[in-house]
Amino acid sequence: MKAPMKGLLVENLSVEIASGGRLLKPVEGVSFAIGADECVALLGESGCGKSMTALALMRLLPEGARVASGSARLDGEELFALPEAAMGEIRGGRLAMIFQEPQTSLNPVMTVAEQIAEALAAHRKLNGAAAQAEAGRLLEAVGLERDRLGAYPFQLSGGQRQRALIAMMLAGEPEVLIADEPTTALDVTVQAQILNLLRDLQRQRGMGLLLITHDLDVAKDMADRVAVMYAGQIVEWASRDSLYAAPRHPYTEKLFAVLPRLERRGERLDSLPGRVPPPDAVIVGCRFAERCPAVFARCHEEAPGFHEAAPGHFARCHLADPVGRMPQGRSAVDLPPDGRRIAFRASALPTGAVLEVRDLAVHFPIRRGLFRRTVDQFKAVDGVSLSIQAGETLALVGESGCGKSTLARAVLRLLEPTRGEVRVAGEAIAGLSGEALRKKRAEMQIVFQDPFSSLNPRMHVGEILEEGMAALLPLSASQRRARIAQLLDQVGLAHDAIGRYPHEFSGGQRQRIAIARALAVQPKLLILDEPTSALDVSVQAQILNLLADLQAEHGLAYLFITHNLPVVGYLAQRVAVMRAGRIVEEGAAEALLTAPKHEYTRLLLDSAPGRGR
């Protein structure tokens, strides 16, 4: 990799963290280059070292961490050799960073204007009226009205906060901008707007962009070159077109193989078992060997070099070694995926409608004046009708604020509807109360987006799973213990998980616990509220396979709330598109995703990443 005339050149970067007598190495020997007007995507699962690499470049490493070796040169200037005062002028100026959650990056007690003005004063020596005028120009450049200058962060939507943060970072006129998962928490339409904004700003300003993401579709839309990271190392480096046409590292191939797609519906997604090795792991040989489908003896004995598998396309793999020896006929691409069909045993499963919603409305009063009189109604849900059969998945899609979660809460009787009817397993729930409602709730459960927030941190897994059974099912203590063991088997967790607490598990494992908790009371209906959006693609595939297996085994009905359209295409039989409290289009998943009738559905599909630059 040759140094660009302008931009950022990183060579042999290693980071070490001293922790409890151990030496952790989250980043080891990382090299890449970003030219002016170029976007490099840094891809990989959580724990691969992507964010730690970015923090090292910004010299913002957490306490106890240090750059152990390596070089980072911005237009030829060595960043790691600068005194902190000089680095402080570069940080936020020539080299800036956008973080995943803008709410934590923006000062909640300062207006947008004050925060942009602070950056202008620090990096461009602008103050007073000149700073105010430039702040307004920057806001307009990122697609916000000037009247937003006086707003506080809490008064802005998620997309507006991200735009305000981008404006603040642009105040220093950066030569290289690092964007760490800048769209993960955003709706698909807002995500498209932010990505388009970053691309336009990059080209207009001749700015280098390091885009950190775990979303292969986002990288496909944005990147000129791609670096794939695993366990602290770059394992593949190539142009975007070369990598997406023919990935050369088994890890990259697996990342592509686990993606849900419409054409894979009815099949199990390929699996990527195990986890990224921790930074303190002592590894002899290849770091991916324990999870690799193409592993052979040499992989456990010798660390692979960084080989040029094709012109300009490098892979840290023995399979890419032109003089290496490998088993006869063995290659990563020859290995079959875990693609057996999902069997649906209809004869042994329940049939009929599990959920029926008729003309459901949830209105909230708008009160104004001294006496807080009701002057209008906010129609969060306005006349929604839908039904879900046993063994069927209905995906509910739409932007934030369209009423999806409000509808879910009304179905569960966590909100009282203004009008309409909800029937679960043929029984209307509106008139139920007390013991009758408590028993009915065993038939309908919910799994939330963030399992860590929804699991009690003071209860171990056994207590979490037993709590619902003790309240809703007539089981003895011994029956509950047997049921817990059965649930852990069903969701693929070891039995020793019973005595452990939520913080001791990975994100995917916590989501399995949340699913087991919902299944504990033997429901007929599961409401799944963005259950995979916070997970890596590899863990997402495992959870989707689990949900498909559970549905095939028990005939569960799923109401799947999501903005991830590839997941919809893979898992759902039918799709309902929601906008402003109403269902604007509903139909079979394949027909709706390939030939939508409503302009709003077409907008959602066109905004999805991976549909071209």
The CATH number of the domain where 379 resides is what? Answer: 3.40.50.300
Per the structure block, which two tokens stand in for 161?
Answer: 């906060």
The residues pairing with 357 across neighbouring beta strands, listed in sequence order, are 386, 422
The pLDDT score that the predictor gives to residue 243 is 97
Look at residue 143 in the predicted model and tell me its pLDDT: 85
For residues 190 and 51, state if they share a domain. yes
Clarify whether residues 311 and 289 are in a common domain. yes
pLDDT(274) > 70: yes
**What's the number of domains the chain is made of?**
4
Scanning 206-296, the segments in alpha helix (DSSP H) are 216-222, 240-245, 250-257
Confidence of residue 346 (pLDDT cuts 50, 70, 90): very low
Q: Which residue has the higher pLDDT, 525 or 47?
A: 525
Token look-up 């992507």 returns: 50
Instruction: State how far the Cα of 233 lies from the Cα of 265, in Å rounded to an integer.
Output: 34
**Residue 345 banded pLDDT, cuts 50, 70, 90:** very low
Boundary-marking domain end, from 334, 367, 398:
334
The stretch 53-72 carries a mean pLDDT of 95
CA distance linking residue 393 with residue 396, whole number of Å: 10
pLDDT tens profile 164-197: 999 999 888 899 999 998 887 678 888 888 899 8
How confident is residue 152, by pLDDT bands cut at 50, 70 and 90? very high
| Domain stops at, among 276, 305, 334 | 334
Q: Is 294 left (phi over 0), alpha (psi -120 to 50) or beta?
A: alpha
Say if residue 62 is in the same domain as residue 200: yes
**Mean pLDDT across the stretch 585-597?**
95
- SS3 for 352-364 is CEEEEEEEEEEEE
Q: Given pLDDT bands bounded at 50, 70 and 90, which one contains residue 611?
A: low
Cα(563)–Cα(215) distance, integer angstroms: 14
φ/ψ bin of 331: left (φ > 0), alpha (ψ from -120 to 50), beta (otherwise): beta
Tell me, what's the pLDDT at 333?
A: 41
In this prediction, residue 66 carries a pLDDT of 95
My answer on whether 89 and 211 are in the same domain is yes
With a cut of 60, say whether residue 472 has pLDDT above it.
Answer: yes
Residues 21, 69, single domain; the answer is yes
CA-to-CA distance for 188 and 566, rounded, in angstroms? 12
- Answer whether 531's CB lies under 8 Å from 448's CB: yes
Q: What is the pLDDT of residue 374?
A: 82
What pLDDT, on a 0 to 100 scale, did the predictor assign at position 612? 53
Burial track 534-565 (b if 16+ CB lie within 10 A, e otherwise): bbbbbbbbbbbbbbbbbbbebbbbbbbbbbbb
- The CB-based long-range contact list for 142-148 (8 Å cut-off, 24+ gap) reads 142/166, 142/167, 142/170, 142/197, 142/201, 143/193, 143/197, 148/112
Query: Phi and psi of 517, rounded to 5°?
Result: -60, -40
Indicate whether 216 and 365 sit together in one domain.
no
What does the pLDDT read at residue 3?
43
Q: What is the DSSP string of 444-476?
A: EEEE-S-HHHHS-TTS-HHHHHHHHHHHHS---
Q: What is the mean pLDDT of residues 35-52?
A: 92
Mean pLDDT score of the chain, rounded to an integer? 88
Give the predicted TM-score (pTM) of the model.
0.85
The DSSP result for 95-139, as a single string, is EEEE-S-HHHHS-TTS-HHHHHHHHHHHHH---HHHHHHHHHHHH
Among 117-126, 223-232, 339-348, 430-439, name the one with the lowest average pLDDT: 339-348
Same domain, 197 and 119: no
Q: In 10 A of CB 37, how many CB atoms?
A: 17
Q: Which domain holds residue 176?
A: 7-109+168-245
**Same domain flag for 374 and 397:** yes
Instruction: Looking at the structure, tell me whether residues 272 and 303 fall in a common domain.
Output: yes
DSSP, collapsed to helix, strand or coil, labels residue 368 as: strand
Among the candidates 167, 194, 211, a domain finishes at 167
600 band by pLDDT with thresholds 50, 70 and 90: very high
Model confidence band, residue 605 (pLDDT cutoffs 50, 70, 90): very high
Q: How much of the chain exceeds pLDDT 70, in percent?
A: 94
- Euclidean distance between CA atoms 264 and 556, whole angstroms: 21
Q: Does one domain contain both 38 and 173?
A: yes
Residue 487 pLDDT more than 50?
yes
* pLDDT score of 482 more than 90: yes
The count of other CB atoms within 10 Å of the CB of residue 323 is 5
Residue 23 has what pLDDT? 87
